[in-house]
Amino acid sequence: MRNNLTRGALHAFAAAAAFSLMGACIKTASRHAPNEVIVFVRCAVSLIILFPWLARKGGLGVRTRRLGGHLWRAGFGILAMYAFFYAIAHLPLAEAMLLTYSTPLWIPFIAWFWIGERPPAVVYPSAALGMVGVAFIVKPGLHAISPVAGMVGLASGILAACAMVSIRRITDTEPPARIVFYFALLGTAISAIPLVWAWQMPDLPTLALLLGAGLLATAGQMQLTRAYSCAPAALIGPFTYVAVPISGALAWLVWDERPDRWSLLGAALVIASCVLVGVRSRQTPSPARSGR
């Protein structure tokens, strides 16, 4: 497993921007399409995009001995996707992002117990600082949200954490494109099952939004997979918080949801937490360097 936090952080920032734009597309399209159709189209678009890569590789690029790892990743990822898209449809965009991006709070624990990556101590206060910033942005409790949608949104964050750690488990032999391909393939197959009872043909504007969401999601997934292949999961996780202020900016532009001074303070705290992780992790000696 390689370790390059700077490169991983840049990939994480790019992924956050793509996922934020995807969220805006999904929120608009969800008014006219059921969740089952949205998830299927998102996966199918990714699969179609990856076919040229497969053809160029002549099939050799997808050969794997880690099918079990891909199944774990696909299972957690699809469940997280259903929950995330449901939350986007039933909550304000910022709240949905907040609950989903509680992921970094769960990653250190999951990564520690699942793959034995014990994170440096600075990760925990940094993640807490990031969550304080997120709370300032969305100001939970000042207006009512659906408790069911809130619980589903929180579940999406926990499931996404499991999916991200499962990516880290297989990146020692699996390149990013192969991981994304198997997720698209398995995800399309799994999400096609509910279409038996939930299929609804979207109109052209909605279809365009869903196709755009699929394109953005594929780009974001590629970037996120690269991020988690560059550095330990617990170090990359806090950088994904940047998706929340990006989503807040999109909500302002599209739905005229203007950020107040508390939201701006929250954005500053989120960025500060990411910088803190990057600086302090470089200053933390590894066991080899410290002579332990």
Could you read off the pLDDT of 91-104 as tens digits, one per residue?
Answer: 778 777 777 777 76
User: Are the C-beta atoms of 98 and 138 separated by less than 8 Å?
Assistant: yes
pLDDT of residue 210: 92
User: What's the angle, vertex CA 7, arms to CA 211 and CA 281, rounded to 5?
Assistant: 130
* DSSP 8-state assignment for residue 144: -
User: Residue 265 domain-assigned?
Assistant: no
User: Residue 289 domain-assigned?
Assistant: no
Mean of the per-residue pLDDT values of the chain: 77
Structural domains in the chain (count): 1
**22-38 average pLDDT score:** 90
**27-32 average pLDDT score:** 90
Banded pLDDT at 209 (limits 50, 70, 90): very high
Give the residue among 25, 152, 33 at the shortest CA–CA distance from 84: 152
User: Residue 251 domain-assigned?
Assistant: no
Could you read off the pLDDT of 245-287 as tens digits, one per residue?
Answer: 788 788 778 877 666 677 667 767 776 776 666 555 444 444 3
The CA R_g of the chain, rounded to the nearest whole Å, is: 19
User: Residue 275 domain-assigned?
Assistant: no
Residues 6+ apart with CB under 8 A from 246: 16, 17, 20
pLDDT of residue 286: 40
Residue 4 has pLDDT above 70, yes or no: yes
Residue 113: give the domain boundaries.
5-121+143-232
User: Residue 269 domain-assigned?
Assistant: no
Higher pLDDT, 33 or 274: 33
Residue 200 has pLDDT above 60, yes or no: yes
Residue 108 has pLDDT above 50, yes or no: yes
Residue 11 has pLDDT above 90, yes or no: no
- Lowest-pLDDT range, 73-87, 101-115, 152-166? 101-115
Residue 197 has pLDDT above 70, yes or no: yes
Give the residue among 100, 101, 94, 217 at the shortest CA–CA distance from 152: 100
User: Residue 279 domain-assigned?
Assistant: no
Which pTM does this prediction carry? 0.75
274, 128, 96, 260: CA torsion to nearest 10? -80
Banded pLDDT at 208 (limits 50, 70, 90): very high
pLDDT of residue 82: 93
pLDDT of residue 138: 57
Among 47-61, 125-139, 204-218, top mean pLDDT goes to 204-218
In single-letter form, the type of residue at position 271 comes to I
pLDDT of residue 271: 66
User: Residue 48 domain-assigned?
Assistant: yes
Percent of the chain predicted with pLDDT > 90: 12
User: Residue 70 domain-assigned?
Assistant: yes
**84-95 average pLDDT score:** 83
Residue 136 has pLDDT above 60, yes or no: yes
